[in-house]
Amino acid sequence: MFKPSVRREQIAGMNIHYVNYSFDYFLDTQERLGFRSIELWCGVPHVWIDHLTYYEAAGIAAKIRAHHLEVRVLTPENCLYPYQVGAKEPEHVKRSLGYFKNGILMAEELGCKMMEINSGWGYLNEPREESWKRSREMLCALATFAGGHGVTLAMESLRPDESRIVTTLGDMKQMLKEVSSPNLKPMADLCAIDVAGETLEDWFGAFGRDLRHLHFIDGDPYGHLVWGDGKRNLGRLLGVLNSYGYEGYLGQEITDGRYFADPAAADFRNMRNYERYMD
Amino acid sequence: MTEQTDTKERNSMAHIRRRQVSAMGIHYLYYPLEYMLDAQAAAGFQTIELVGMAPHFLIDHTGYQDPASVRRMAEERGLTIGCFTPECAIYQYLMCAPDPGSHQRSMEYFKRGLEAASEFGAKLLLTNCIGGTRDEEYGRIYERAVRSLSELAPVAADCGVTIAVETVRPEESSCIITLPELKKLLADVDHPRVRAGLDTIAMGVAGETPEQWFAELGEDIVHMHFVDGRPYGHLVWGDGLYPLERYLDVLNRHGYEGYLSQEITDPRYFEDPAEADKRAFEAFLPFMEDAPLHFTRCGEEAVTDVKGIKEPAHV
């Protein structure tokens, strides 16, 4: 009988739910819980990137190495901070472009080959085509810049309450076609695709090996939850990854406020659930 | 309430002046500044608490957008900027940021905020003491809060701005989340330009009441985020569980003359923030001494909503 499996290196711990703890605490916890890979969320108090520059890359790299971890994907905070790919006003566009470029530079300096991004959201009181066009223009500029620094952008779709630009598989296909860059690839966030009524099979069917990254979390379908706290079937979904030969990372983008008080306990449970599927 | 309420009775009833009810724009995250100001003026507001957040007003530790044009846009719509609040809970800049680099940039950011407030003609800047981490000693975070505010106080004085410090929910910070902590903090900073801001949500979550706040801090309360809650949520009045009239009674009894900012942040309002603001303003109409003429207290006249559609007043 087919047994779903996952490699320990594929599980990429994330630090969003450690927002009330220090970076040292996060790294120490990841190492002790058996993580080997991380998807580094760049937000304070862990990592500071802004539109002007990025800070302390060498120190951050050294700390990560000291904990025997590797940054597989770099994810600049791209929902809460004052930057977005769909920005409209010239100053906002300039700052947003600067911010994501600094993310790419930070990724390069940390030896990380992939940066996560989304389409941005624009405004609700304008024709969708206008925000779409601005999003496409910034994605083109960023994809070119990323290519020059050996970084691939992995773009996720957003929920309809977050954006009206790229929220579905169809939107993703269309945007990738319009940007048409080898440095912009799709990734699937289980929450967003579930909310859109789509499945992992749909996304693998559409993109195959071009699907470069996953935010692989439990949900109901909303929420970015630890496995066990939502309604998804971990074993079945790992089986889907196996059947499509997915060898990329499973970013643990756990964002629900319920985990902020004790993120280590959440990660402990999460990792134990994955370990049932490790050889 | 009848039109002929005599003065004595009116003074004993919950009352509020129109310019005290202040609009905020966090729920306009998906709308531009112009749309927000149009909607808030149309809702009936005369005062706003401008938040330094994208896309409405961009500010960082090195500078900020031209404040004169934003002030002009507000004033053209009859809106006064009563308070300026540089975003201080979810961006990089936090009052009690732990590492020296982050803390220094945050201090510069709040100084830019005070300068911007001054250029807006705002006499108030609201902030909090978020930023310490859970794996750090409480005492160190508290000391950083005192030190940070003491550093900002003389800049505030130079700018003619008073800093209102709010408490926040325990999910946001481990320090300065209760009334006794804030009272101690203000005593330790001991500067006339560093006072208290009452946020009714942090208050409710901490199990406190407006009566306790006024009993402890009295005239040190210079500003309010006065919104409905359960106690969580920053809700439009009527969507939560708080007793509006009783709370207004407390404010009146203690002679509070400051702003009541409608810090509406729940995502349920993001799609149609103008509708939320309209309801937020209308909630105060029964208590408003100087209600605008085109609004009615008894539903006899029509109220024009922001989209220009006539509909019956439901006040």
Q: Cβ contacts (< 8 Å) between B271 and chain A: which residues?
A: 124, 161
User: Coil, helix or strand for B86?
Assistant: strand
Domain that holds residue B41: 14-272
pLDDT in tens, B230-288: 999 999 999 999 999 999 999 999 999 999 999 999 999 999 999 999 999 999 999 99
Q: B165 in a domain, yes or no?
A: yes
Contact with chain A for residue B282, Cβ under 8 A: no
How far is residue A247's CA from residue A204's CA, in Å, rounded to a whole number?
13
Q: Is B267 on the interface with A (CB under 8 A)?
A: yes
The residue length of chain A stands at 279
> Looking at the complex, does the CB of residue B100 fall below 8 Å from at least one CB of chain A?
no
Task: Kindly state whether residue B193 falls inside one of the protein's structural domains.
Answer: yes
> Could you tell me if B38 lies within 8 Å of chain A, comparing CB atoms?
no
> Which pLDDT score is estimated for B292?
85
Residue pair B57/B50 in contact (Cβ under 8 Å)? The answer is yes
Q: B232 in contact with A at a CB cutoff of 8 Å?
A: no
Q: In this structure, is residue B84 part of a structural domain? A: yes
Cβ burial A185-194 (10 Å sphere, 16+ → b, else e): bbbbbbbbbb
Instruction: Quote the tokens at residue A33.
Output: 């819980």
Residue B129, pLDDT above cutoff 50: yes
Average pLDDT over residues B154-183: 97
* Residue spans of chain A under pLDDT 50: none
Following DSSP, what letter does each residue of A58-106 receive, concatenated? HHHHHHHHHTT-EEEEEEE--SSSS--TT--SHHHHHHHHHHHHHHHHH
Q: Determine how many CB atoms are found less than 10 A away from the CB of residue B243.
A: 11
Q: Out of A20, A82, A124, name the one closest to residue B30 (CB).
A: A124
Q: How many domains does chain B have?
A: 1
**pLDDT for B312 beyond 90:** no
Look up residue B44 and give its two tokens: 């009936």
CB atoms B32 and A88 under 8 Å: yes
Q: Which residue has the tokens 């048409």?
A: A180
Residue B94: per-residue pLDDT: 98
Nearest C-alpha in A relative to B26: A80
Asked if B135's CB is within 8 angstroms of A81's CB, the reply is no
Closest CA to A169 of A192, A153, A140, A138: A192
Mean pLDDT calculated for residue range B202-227:
98
Q: What is the largest CA-CA distance in chain B?
A: 61
A25: which 2 tokens? Answer: 């605490």
Per residue in A112-132, pLDDT (tens digit) is 999 999 999 999 999 999 999
Give the whole-angstrom CA distance, residue B28 versus residue B272: 8
R_g of chain A computed on alpha carbons: 18
B6-22 pLDDT per residue, tens: 555 556 789 999 999 99
Average pLDDT over residues B113-132: 98
- Domain-located, residue B153: yes
- Evaluate whether residue B94 is within a structural domain: yes
The DSSP output letter for B5 is -
DSSP designation for A220: S
**Domains in chain A, start-ordered, CATH in brackets?**
8-273 (3.20.20.150)
Tokens of B181: 């902590």
Residue B103 lies in a domain: yes
CATH number of the domain to which B242 belongs? 3.20.20.150
Assess if residue B204 is contained within a domain: yes
Query: Most B CBs within 10 Å: which of A26, A54, A124, as the mutation test of the B interface?
Result: A124
Q: Give the pLDDT of residue A2.
A: 82
Q: What is the pLDDT of residues B285-300, one digit of tens each?
A: 999 999 887 664 444 4
pLDDT tens per residue across span B55-64? 999 999 999 9
Could you report how far apart the first and last alpha carbons of chain B are, in Å?
Answer: 12
Contact B98 A50 (CB under 8 A): no
Tell me if B177 is assigned to some domain. yes
Interchain CB distance below 8 Å, A45 and B97:
yes
Interface confidence, given as ipTM, is 0.96
